Structure 1
Amino acid sequence: MSHQTGIKSSDELKEAFSDAKRGEKRLLKVEIADEKLQLKDSENAKGSWEDDYDAFVLPRLESTPCYILYRLDRTSDEGSHQWILLAYVPDTSEVRQKMLYAATRSTLKMEFGGGNIVDEIYGNTKDDVSLDGYQKHLEAAEAPPPLTEQEEQMQILSEADKMARIEISASTRQSHLHGVSFPTDDETVHHLEKLRDKKLIYVQLSIDLGNEKICFVKSDATTTSATLGSHVPDDHSRYHFFRYKHQYEGDDLDSVVFVYSSPGYKCSVRERMLYSSCKATVVDLAKQLDIDVVKAVEIESGSELSEAFLMDEVHPKQHLQKQLFARPPGPSNRRRSSPRPQSAKEN
């Protein structure tokens, strides 16, 4: 498929390729002009590849398509430098340009030396090909492929079977708890006691999945209903205890709310099942420490938490009972009962 567009590298670009492989260049910017691959710009390395990345790449991305060859700080087993290829084609580009840059990419790789290019990124915006975008690309490439519906069902059944066999004794500071019971540590208990004593407003707990243990994550003494959601991670499940200070019907109230957050399929099946099965245990632990949990709620995202949400959960609106009406008469064509026949005596 090489040279399928008939476009080849200019002599200047070929010379730049040879120079870049010696290891001084950090970046080469290449564009298609006059039916050739032309060197548009280049830059020598200054810092590490991470430090140079955004400072070198982003200012060179304009409203027209281009290729960026960017050198990493790694070398292959043969000692050659490793590069990544960024293909930047803005959404505003003409259709012909989009097709031309897509079809010429293999030519560029071949003439530069495909063995030197260890990764490729295609992007339509600067965010797509920024350092953060590249790191997300690497994370996605390393992530396991998504499970089919049948595979996920089998994994859930397998985890459920495993959990049914779990028999873990609770910490010596806990009495017997029902369901799946993981041990906790003194730090967790210490911060929950401070929450009970009104020295803390917020406490977050997690499950150490490897050691199957309930752990303290963080606490805070200034969290409000407006900032509560900022504590909720978007990639892992967590348990949260929050002192909800508010007014209701003229009274100043201080209510402890338990929040179980789980971002759905962003975390593993095992993580979701363990957190779901242990939430009652965590609430029971709080109650054993004399923490009066007035409400337990479940959310997927911190954006769900607000003053209105908490108010509705802690003080649900009472639905007025519908007024009872007299039973309406039946339809006029309802069959009437036959009159009772008179006896001879009555006649």
Structure 2
Amino acid sequence: MSAASGIGISKDLSEIFASAVAGSAVRFIKVAIENESLVSRGTTDVEGATLEDDLGKLQTLLEDNEPAYVLARIGSPKAKDVGWIAISYVPDTANVRGKMLYASTRSALTKSLGSAHFSDSLFATSKADITPRAYAAHKARHTAPQPLSAREQEIADVRAAERAAGGTYEGSTARRNHVGQTVGMTWSDEAKKAVKDLGQGSGNELVLLSIDDTETLVLSSASECPVEELSKRIPKSDPSFAFYAWSHDHGSPSGAKRDISTVPLFQKAQVKNRMIYSLQARALHHIAKSHLADMPSVLSERKIETSDPTELNEGFLKSELGLGTSASPPGSGTSTPRPGGQAPGFARPKGPGRKR
């Protein structure tokens, strides 16, 4: 069951998928959310030798404006080790509630059916994203090396030159994670879109991201979240990263402001997971900032940190973000006046007493 949406898997869907995994000739299982449950809306049998051969059937299986999930067999029924792909179809023309509901439930769908069965996932916003040509491009992106920014390419060129010259020094800033890779991991398309959508919104919204088995940052949930509900929506045990967009009128002359803050949450995770998440926290903040660079709502420079998610309330957010306080910042040269309007004096420091 999805902790964010309260939606679980129906018994009928579970049985249909189990039968398909066991070897029935099913290519596609269409899944929809009905009466607070994930249910099967029909199956399509295998005809072609590969998934690409049958992808054309999705053009009639799916509706133009109606979100749905599609569980798709990648190979033939005999090739059980090839696995399945979870397709999340959320059209741009769908209503906002539908978009959030399906975005926040996808992770629960695959976990409830068994994550080990799914070797890939695909996020589609139109039928054009699930054609054979689009799927081929999707696979090519996953196998191709990740593109580098101009700065990253410059660093890579310098290191390549050092290796060619026989140098071994990498500098103290070359931080590594537990498998020896440079800190900063791949973002899934869903995770990128959820954070960008957050920057274009206007209300209070919560996006939760997590790291999957392939060390990719994926979307766990995205939903509207009033500030008084924040502490209840945050996972108490599973490690995650949270982005919270908060619309408020604290500390803004115009009376309206929207802060987006990162909340690293991994305090109760296993030691290995705590290490992975803590290494990614700084990189996550900088990458998210670049995703939101041209958005109406920008990422706050302050990260909210807590070891107890239950203390996440309006007062705590104001304190962490420095809102609604009249105290002068450190080093400003001003001080709090004493009663009677007298400024505080400064006592002359006394030197150490002379020994006799």
Is this a same-fold pair by TM over 0.5? no
- Could you state the TM-score of these two structures normalised by the residue count of structure 2? 0.40
Judging by fraction of residues, say which structure has more strand. 1
Highest Rg: 1 or 2?
Answer: 1
- Could you state the TM-score of these two structures normalised by the residue count of structure 1? 0.41
